[in-house]
Structure 1
Amino acid sequence: MSGRFPIEDVSPVVSCGRYPAKAVVGELVPVAARAYREGHDALGCNVVWSGPDGAARPFTRMHPGEPGQDRWHAVIRPDAVGDWTFHVEAFHDPYLTWQNAVTKKLAAGQGPADLANDLAEGAQLLDAAAPGVPATQRQRVARAAAALRDTDRELSQRVEPALELADLLWAHPVRELVTVGDEHRLWVDRERALFSAWYEFFPRSEGAVPATVDAPARSGTFATATERLPGVAAMGFDVLYLPPIHPIGRVNRKGPNNSLTAGPDDVGSPWAIGAAEGGHDAIHPDLGTAEDFRDFVAAAAEQGLEVAMDLALQCAPDHPWVTEHPEWFTTRADGTIAYAENPPKKYQDIYPLNFDNDPEGIRAEILRVVLHWVGEGIRIFRVDNPHTKPFDFWHWLIREVKQVEPDVLFLAEAFTRPAIMHGLGRIGFTQSYTYFTWRTTAAEMREYCEELVAAADYMRPNFWPNTPDILHESLQHGGPPMFKIRAVLAALLSPSWGMYAGFELFEHVARPGAEEYLDNEKYELRPRDWAGAQEQGRSLAPFVATLNRVRREHPALRRLRNLRFHDIDNPALLCWSKRDADTGDTVIVVCSFDSTGVQWGNTTLDMPALGLDWHERFTVHDELTGASYDWGQRNAVRLDPYLQPAHVLTVRRPAPPGTPADVSTAPAQLSTESVPEDLSGGTAPTTPAQKDELRWTS
């Protein structure tokens, strides 16, 4: 920093500027700083920001925040992918200083003689200001300067034209004693880095035929998996994540449910990468050829799906790297290579990489592998267990890849300590898995989401209610309503969310004593009857499609920084909103955490957060039922886990006469003669027997 005035606590700045802050194209990025000066003269601040092309963007003046805090605020909107820079400038504002002084003196009753110097100085100031305003406004400034010099006018007539220039000279100020703050970086990604809906399936399970006494198992292929793409697209997802598609090791291959012994038909874990057929740059021959993969990626794109690949930097014992580069692994005292362990879990079919023995060689090879898949059209990687690899390696790799292809995105699958998860975000990971799965009360969820909003400058969450490794007990025992509840929370709290195949079929049976699926798809083929489930009304797919439709149609749901929570007097309920500053689009959600019983609550809304005055009434439209209601600051809500576990309300105003007063008394919600459609796609249960039918049976 150089200049007269202190500029401190600039944001967004990550790790004192060591790493760039993050944004996406079109996002309103808040910039703030603390700046102050001596005495009583007016200070002004502005942001200077430049795009990847180096060209400066339009002058952006900062507004003062809370009085007495000397905090200044502005928003910028980057419009291109790449590396941006910004810095804050502070300056003496002679017009605002003059305006403040003259206004106070006039209020004190001072006359022309008392203000003689002020009037002359004001005219000189306007002479200096005129060249800096738009050409269409220069005559206006000149006339105001002439009025200040016109001694034949009344004092108010001399001063008024100059005071009316406040807005013009705010946007085009005279700047003196300019202090230039330090330069900071902002990496801007494409919008999918922040707003995305992910779906995970195993290609080998789609179209697979399990083994029988008469025939061996037959894996699904990219060709058979293509048949599943329309169903995924119909649910509104835009990213299709594939577990590793590479050859699977045969040495120490795991059997069903992670058993140590594999039979001849057991397919093994896709994360045990590498065999005689090749390693991380190869495709499992059971899935097809490289051309088949390209066809699959193209078919997905036709359905509006972008394929994300798994980047798992680990090897099966028969991976080519093990024999070609034994130095890339850890050798134990007995001469054997160490397999992966997370006590008490053991992964005898996986060798972790050791980045210390030949860091340059292993870096070069991994960069080659990643760029190979980038060359095949892949722009998204879900990175397996990044917290078990060196952080400086990831910082280097992500930077190197983005220099080749700035659009590439990296999702960190790191269920680990908070500092490490945040650290991975800082060093460059685009998105991150989170603790969402284990936040099972409204209070826990609110606290965690507020933590994530506070970290929005560098960490973008992706909420997953389930993964192949994680089947939380709330889904094991909560029944279909809990699946709906978790889908609402994941899809509408976070701008990015995802789910693993089978969630829409309410798959819930866990391996005894574990938080993972019984007959886990990681170790065996698991074909599913998607069409049959849909026909029988046993699929959550229609509800998921509704959630993703609402996300696409409402810009407010595409951002994280705008998440605001509202008070509600029932701890089993969570109320939040999102509002888009550009369009005014506003969505309010009230969601139950109880999958077994009806919950009532009374909201106390933060009306300014909704863009409304405290006294205003407004109409809300429920995107799940189509009903509309008249709301204000305080509203009663009733949530039945079987009929409707959540309200997803879009704000419309003003409320027309005759609109139902609140959600709790709306006839459509309480009538048993006109039962609303169940959110899973069938008819809502209304009798104990019908409800019991939807409870789990083992």
Structure 2
Amino acid sequence: PCSPRQRSLVGTFAVDRVGPWRYTFAGWIDGFATWFHGLTKKMAADQDVTMDLLIGADLVEQAAHTAADRDVLWYWVHRLRSAAVGVAADVLASDLPTMMARSPDRRLTSLCPQIWPVWVDRAKARYSTWYELFPRSCGEPGHHGTFADCAKQLPYLANLGFDVLYLPPIHPIGTTFRKGKNNTLTAAPEDVGVPWGIGSAEGGHKAIHPQLGTLADFRALQAKAATSGIEIALDVAFQCSPDHPYVQSHPQWFRHRPDGTIQYAENPPKKYQDIYPIDFETDDWENLWAELLSVMEYWVQQGVKIFRVDNPHTKAFPFWEWAIAEIHRRDREVLFLSEAFTRPKLMYRLAKLGFTQSYTYFTWRNTKWELENYFTELTQSPVREFFRPNLWPNTPDILPEALQKGGEPAFKLRVALAATLGASYGIYGPAYELCENRPIAEGKEEYGHSEKYEIKAWDWQSPHSIARWIAALNRIRREHPALHRNESLRFHAIDNEQLLAYTKQTDDLGDVILVVANLDPFANQAGWLDLPLESLGVDPYRPYQVHDLLAHTHYDWYGGRNYVELNPHHQPVHVFHVVSSPGHG
């Protein structure tokens, strides 16, 4: 059904299954509504409406032949034709317009020739909580971890409240030009290499690194994760080490330099001698596409339903559009996370091509102005119709300056922002909850002694961990449906540039969450907050209560203007549940 809004029409329809949908528009003139509108105006002007009543009778009679309300409609036909005194007033006060709207005259319907496609994803596309870890660091100190070791961490992840476990590439790693610790060019014999340097004599993208385990071990990890409500997401990185079987069997899939050698990956001034990018401009592109599609199909057959795709913006866009559609033709529940830190238009284009979610620039948005403007674009502009953000305060590649210098308060702040600004977010751990903040060098965003190049021995039970803080945030997310979507996000005025305030709410206002964050990790900040109470379903003339879901405290407020103060070393963020009156938390 459509409803008038200013001079346009808005239509809605419900979807009840995952997969492709198509829709179009049909329109017709509502003769009865037009007549009723005219009758209303003439009655207000005290004009004679005798002839109008007879015209109305004809319109109602036409509907009465087929309408479910035919008996009532025939009653009105006779009354209108009687043109008795008071009939017109009775019509205006009746529910006749509602009954007639149920039986419109569509004989002169105009059908829009254009048909629009819509893809409907499963619920996890909209709301998900990700944790990235390296399985090889899950073993005993000094030993290469396995899938079985990784499975031992599942209760920990479940207690933290994560529902997606994302694994970096699990394939054999090449040895030619293997990087050493801290990305040194020469690897020591014991160096394990970078998981993104995929391929060796032991296999390529369909093989498993032998030190991680077997395919059966991987399936066992999936099964155990599922019992904890956790899905396994795999990394799709379409690039090869010099030792990948493709290099020998399909050299035409790589770009060759004038001296005959294969061009390794570069992002000047960085060089990646251990990585060969795939040449999507090869003349043999059809066979290349088919093979890469078969990689994703293989892992879907092994039960993988979520892929994190490495740098999709550096591959051919038509390939992704085709490959994602092909995967969805076989399994509609597969989700794709785009890891494309590139120009916004390219990120949005990838979303339109079929990517379910995308990394964002949240990682580098720190000030009040930056956060308000960026998230207003993501949630209130047309972008929200096709682009689903997944917020990451850190990744194995990115240790942002805010985390390097802000200490524990910054780690608590940034994960709280990610968990509440976005319906989907993730962290790279346990580096995050252990507040690992040492860069490789001053002014660099690379982790010192990065886990990309070595096996780490993490103290998962460190007393300095902020795991309890993260678990509390994820519990709040689970319990409050207002945080399961992004469309309702609204920022609110607060008279301090170091304080950020915003709300999220369900459509029926049954759940309203207010977040106030201290963006300064070093000092107390305070200010006066102004809330539009009526838009939050709160009576502005009655007291109401806000329940701090992190501190388990209650505050009685009155009116839209209230005082807030936050000590970053104690609690850098309030996550309030707003209730209409005291005593209802």
**The two structures share one fold, judged by TM-score above 0.5:** yes
If the length of structure 1 is used for normalisation, what is the TM-score? Answer: 0.80
Where does residue 512 of structure 1 map in the other structure? 441
In structure 2, do the counterparts of structure 1 residues 171 and 506 end up closer, same or farther at CA, with 3 Å as the change threshold? farther
Q: How many Å separate the matches in 2 of 1:132 and 1:433?
A: 54
In structure 2, do the counterparts of structure 1 residues 225 and 655 end up closer, same or farther at CA, with 3 Å as the change threshold? same
Q: More deviation in 76-85 or 285-294?
A: 76-85
1:580 aligns with 2:506: yes
Q: How many Å separate the matches in 2 of 1:629 and 1:120?
A: 63
Where does residue 245 of structure 2 map in the other structure? 320
Q: How many Å separate the matches in 2 of 1:132 and 1:567?
A: 56
* 1:63 partner amino acid: S
Q: Structure 1, residues 576-610: CA drift from partner, whole Å, max 9, x if none?
A: 11121156322121112111111112222234542
1:73 aligns with 2:7: no
Where does residue 231 of structure 1 map in the other structure? 156
In structure 2, do the counterparts of structure 1 residues 221 and 604 end up closer, same or farther at CA, with 3 Å as the change threshold? same
Once the 2 structures are TM-superposed, how far is the Cα of residue 615 of structure 1 from its aligned partner?
5.1
Where does residue 46 of structure 2 map in the other structure? 109
1:639 aligns with 2:566: yes
Q: More deviation in 149-158 or 181-190?
A: 149-158
Once the 2 structures are TM-superposed, how far is the Cα of residue 208 of structure 1 from its aligned partner?
4.1
Candidates 99, 117, 141, aligned match of 1:209: 141
Where does residue 592 of structure 1 map in the other structure? 518
* 2:40 partner amino acid: T
Where does residue 374 of structure 1 map in the other structure? 300
* 2:200 partner amino acid: A
Once the 2 structures are TM-superposed, how far is the Cα of residue 566 of structure 1 from its aligned partner?
1.8
Q: How many Å separate the matches in 1 of 2:260 and 2:310?
A: 27
1:486 aligns with 2:414: yes
Where does residue 489 of structure 2 map in the other structure? 563
Where does residue 33 of structure 2 map in the other structure? 96
Where does residue 54 of structure 1 map in the other structure? none
Task: Work out whether residues 92 and 176 of structure 1, in 8 Å CA contact, stay in contact via their aligned partners in 2.
Answer: no
Q: How many Å separate the matches in 1 of 2:194 and 2:66?
A: 67
Q: How many Å separate the matches in 2 of 1:169 and 1:550?
A: 47
Q: How many residues align?
A: 578
Once the 2 structures are TM-superposed, how far is the Cα of residue 178 of structure 1 from its aligned partner?
2.3
Q: How many Å separate the matches in 1 of 2:550 and 2:96?
A: 50
Once the 2 structures are TM-superposed, how far is the Cα of residue 298 of structure 1 from its aligned partner?
0.8
In structure 2, do the counterparts of structure 1 residues 401 and 635 end up closer, same or farther at CA, with 3 Å as the change threshold? same
Mapping of residues 383-462 of structure 1, within 5 Å: 383-453=309-379, 454=381, 455-462=383-390
Where does residue 428 of structure 2 map in the other structure? 500
Matched residue of 1:331: which SS? coil
Task: Work out whether residues 313 and 384 of structure 1, in 8 Å CA contact, stay in contact via their aligned partners in 2.
Answer: yes
Q: Structure 1, residues 259-294: CA drift from partner, whole Å, max 9, x if none?
A: 001111100000000001000000000001111111
Q: Structure 1, residues 332-364: CA drift from partner, whole Å, max 9, x if none?
A: 011111110101111111000001221111111
In structure 2, do the counterparts of structure 1 residues 606 and 158 end up closer, same or farther at CA, with 3 Å as the change threshold? closer
Q: How many Å separate the matches in 1 of 2:551 and 2:357?
A: 32
Q: How many Å separate the matches in 2 of 1:602 and 1:88?
A: 48
* 1:72 partner amino acid: L
Q: How many Å separate the matches in 2 of 1:131 and 1:569?
A: 64
Matched residue of 2:547: which SS? strand
1:279 aligns with 2:209: no
* 1:429 partner amino acid: F
* 1:253 partner amino acid: R
Where does residue 79 of structure 2 map in the other structure? 147
Where does residue 677 of structure 1 map in the other structure? none
Q: How many Å separate the matches in 1 of 2:166 and 2:44?
A: 67
Q: How many Å separate the matches in 2 of 1:235 and 1:172?
A: 54
* 1:76 partner amino acid: F
* 2:187 partner amino acid: A
Q: Structure 1, residues 181-237: CA drift from partner, whole Å, max 9, x if none?
A: 222111000011111000000000001433xxxxxxx20101111111110111100
Q: How many Å separate the matches in 2 of 1:642 and 1:128?
A: 73
Q: How many Å separate the matches in 1 of 2:532 and 2:393?
A: 28
Candidates 37, 46, 52, aligned match of 1:118: 52
Q: How many Å separate the matches in 2 of 1:90 and 1:629?
A: 52
Q: More deviation in 301-310 or 124-133?
A: 124-133
1:648 aligns with 2:579: no
Matched residue of 1:503: which SS? coil
1:62 aligns with 2:24: no
Q: How many Å separate the matches in 2 of 1:77 and 1:159?
A: 33
Q: Structure 1, residues 515-549: CA drift from partner, whole Å, max 9, x if none?
A: 01100000000121112x1xx2x111111111111
Task: Work out whether residues 193 and 454 of structure 2, in 8 Å CA contact, stay in contact via their aligned partners in 1.
Answer: yes
Once the 2 structures are TM-superposed, how far is the Cα of residue 142 of structure 1 from its aligned partner?
2.6
Q: How many Å separate the matches in 1 of 2:145 and 2:268?
A: 33
In structure 2, do the counterparts of structure 1 residues 621 and 511 end up closer, same or farther at CA, with 3 Å as the change threshold? same
Task: Work out whether residues 615 and 633 of structure 1, in 8 Å CA contact, stay in contact via their aligned partners in 2.
Answer: no
1:130 aligns with 2:57: no
Candidates 2, 5, 23, aligned match of 1:86: 23
Q: How many Å separate the matches in 1 of 2:49 and 2:571?
A: 69
Q: Structure 1, residues 446-477: CA drift from partner, whole Å, max 9, x if none?
A: 11111112211111100000000000010001
Mapping of residues 227-376 of structure 1, within 5 Å: 227-357=152-282, 358-376=284-302
Candidates 114, 126, 132, aligned match of 1:194: 126
In structure 2, do the counterparts of structure 1 residues 494 and 388 end up closer, same or farther at CA, with 3 Å as the change threshold? same
Once the 2 structures are TM-superposed, how far is the Cα of residue 140 of structure 1 from its aligned partner?
2.6
Once the 2 structures are TM-superposed, how far is the Cα of residue 138 of structure 1 from its aligned partner?
3.1
Task: Work out whether residues 86 and 185 of structure 1, in 8 Å CA contact, stay in contact via their aligned partners in 2.
Answer: yes
Matched residue of 1:92: which SS? coil
Work out the percentage of aligned pairs sharing the same amino acid: 49
* 1:351 partner amino acid: Y
Task: Work out whether residues 40 and 92 of structure 2, in 8 Å CA contact, stay in contact via their aligned partners in 1.
Answer: no
Q: How many Å separate the matches in 2 of 1:241 and 1:552?
A: 19
Once the 2 structures are TM-superposed, how far is the Cα of residue 172 of structure 1 from its aligned partner?
4.6
In structure 2, do the counterparts of structure 1 residues 123 and 406 end up closer, same or farther at CA, with 3 Å as the change threshold? same
Gaps of 5+ in 1: 1-60, 211-217, 660-698
Matched residue of 1:346: which SS? strand
Where does residue 469 of structure 2 map in the other structure? 543
Q: How many Å separate the matches in 2 of 1:319 and 1:351?
A: 9
Where does residue 530 of structure 1 map in the other structure? 460
In structure 2, do the counterparts of structure 1 residues 85 and 591 end up closer, same or farther at CA, with 3 Å as the change threshold? same
Once the 2 structures are TM-superposed, how far is the Cα of residue 388 of structure 1 from its aligned partner?
0.8
If the length of structure 2 is used for normalisation, what is the TM-score? Answer: 0.95
Once the 2 structures are TM-superposed, how far is the Cα of residue 91 of structure 1 from its aligned partner?
2.0
Candidates 82, 88, 91, aligned match of 1:159: 91
* 1:476 partner amino acid: Q
Matched residue of 1:288: which SS? coil
Q: Structure 1, residues 98-148: CA drift from partner, whole Å, max 9, x if none?
A: 1111111111122xxx21111011112122233564x3x333333233222
* 2:177 partner amino acid: N
Q: Structure 1, residues 473-531: CA drift from partner, whole Å, max 9, x if none?
A: 10001011111110111011111000001101111111104201100000000121112
1:610 aligns with 2:536: yes
* 1:64 partner amino acid: P
Superposition RMSD in Å: 1.8
Matched residue of 1:177: which SS? coil
Q: How many Å separate the matches in 1 of 2:24 and 2:349?
A: 24
* 1:98 partner amino acid: W
